[in-house]
Structure 1
Amino acid sequence: MPEWIRKLLFWGFIAFLIYFMAFRPDGAANIFKAIGAGLVAMFQGLGDFLTSLAP
């Protein structure tokens, strides 16, 4: 993929995030909470797996 397309997509994504947070703060907060909860669940599962490997 050409470099200019990657830069365009990156800055477009950043602009969308700023727009989304400015005009739909409740929706943006809910999305970030869901992402955070998913990450916590993923690391909790990894921790449980590693704990079960210990003798």
Structure 2
Amino acid sequence: MLKKILTWGGLAFLVFFVAYRPDEAGNVVSSLAGGIMDVANGFANFFTNLVTG
């Protein structure tokens, strides 16, 4: 029951954030995407060095 309430609350907050603060929401998404790309590049470098090293 608590998980369902938290899920719907998070979704409502997300909709509110995007609707009323679209610039900040875009910045958050951009930062998250950049972080994910950094992690992906780190894994790629690790495996490249593992195979060629």
TM-score, scaled relative to structure 1: 0.92
Which structure 1 residue ranges, 4+ long, deviate > 3 Å from structure 2? none
Which residue identity lines up with residue 43 of structure 1 in the other structure? Answer: A
The answer for the alignment partner of 1:13 in structure 2 is 10
Give the length in aligned residue pairs. Answer: 52
Gaps of 5+ in 1: none
* Aligned equivalent of 2:42, options 39, 45, 50: 45
TM-score, scaled relative to structure 2: 0.96
Taking only the aligned residue pairs, the percentage that are identical comes to: 37
Gaps of 5+ in 2: none
